Amino acid sequence: MELTPEMNEALEKASRIVAGSRHVVALVGAGMSAESGIPTYRGPGGLWTRIGEPDPRRYQNFAADPKGWWERTLERDSQAPESPDQAQFRQSMLDARPNPGHYALVELERMGKLKWIITQNVDNLHREAGTRNITEIHGNRMLLRCMRCNFRIPRVEFDIDPHNLPPRCPQCGGIIKGDGVMFGEPIPSDSLNKCVEQANLCDCMMVLGTSGTVYPAAGFPIHAMQRGARLIEVNPYPTPISDTVDVALRGPTGELLPRIVARVREMGKT
C-alpha cells in the first residue's frame, strides 16, 4: 500500500511507542485471519451472516449430554459438511497459512518487545508461524480440552474410541471436548486469568484486526488504557476504541506490522 505523509507519521509514532515499551501485548481479532483467506463469522460475507449463528444453547446441550454430542459430532465428521458455505469455510481453514502480520509478531517476540499475544482466533496460525507466548481466548481448533482441569492435547495425538464416549482426560478423568469455546460456554478460567494478568502488566497494547465488540476481549484494551498503557490500533476500519487510542493505523495488519517491526529494529540500532 502507498503511504501518505499522515500514515508515515502515524507509523513512526507507533514504532516509537513499541520501541520504548517494556511489555507489549497484542490483542488479535478475525481481521488478521481474514488476511490469510479465512472468512470472518460476522459482517458482510461472514459465515454466520450467510447461514445464521450457531444455537446459543450449544454448550448447555453438550453439558447435558456429552455422550450424545460426541456421537453426533463423530457421525457428522464422517460425512460431507451440511452446506456449501460450511464446506468452503472448512476448506479455507485447512488451506490457510500465516501471513506477514503473523510473522511480524513472531519477530517482535524474538526481539524481546512483544511479551504476549491474546488472540480471538481459533485457527492455530500464530503457533504455526512460531509464536511462543499466546493465549487463545476462544480456543484452538487443533486442540481438545478437559472440562474439569483444562488439560489440552492436540487432536491428532488423542485417540477417541467411538464405543467409549465421551472421551476422558488422561490427567484427571474429566470429560474431554473440543478446545473451541462454544456459544454459552464460559471462557476457560486459565485463559481468562492469563489475559487479565497480561492486561495488567502491559504498558503498550496493540489492537490488531478486531472489531472491539466481542467481550470479554473487547474490554482488555480499555482496562490496559485505564492503567496507563498506550494503545496502538491497526485495522482497515474504525472501531469503538478508535477515538481513544494513541495511534490508529488504517490498513491491513499484514502490510503495516512488518513496517513497524522494521522501524523498531532500526531504532534499536541507534
- Residue 108 contacts by C-beta under 8 Å, 6 or more apart in sequence? 18, 24, 26, 114, 261, 264
Is cis: bond before 166, omega within 30 of 0? yes
Three-class SS of residue 42? coil
Pairing type for strands 247-249 and 204-208 reads unpaired
Whole-angstrom distance, CA of residue 48 vs CA of residue 175:
28
| Torsional sign, CA 166, 171, 173, 175 | negative
Active-site residue, from 23, 138, 163, 223 = 138
DSSP state of 65: -
In angstroms and rounded to an integer, the radius of gyration of the C-alpha atoms of the chain is 20
C-alpha cell at 183: 456459544
Q: Which of 141, 244, 254 is nearest to 208 (CA)?
A: 254
Active site residue 23: no
| Torsional sign, CA 162, 173, 119, 111 | negative
- Residue 121 contacts by C-beta under 8 Å, 6 or more apart in sequence? 28, 29, 30, 32, 33, 136, 138
258 sits in the region (left: phi over 0; alpha: psi -120 to 50; else beta) called alpha
Q: Which of 207, 203, 226 is nearest to 218 (CA)?
A: 207
Residue positions annotated with a catalytic role: 138
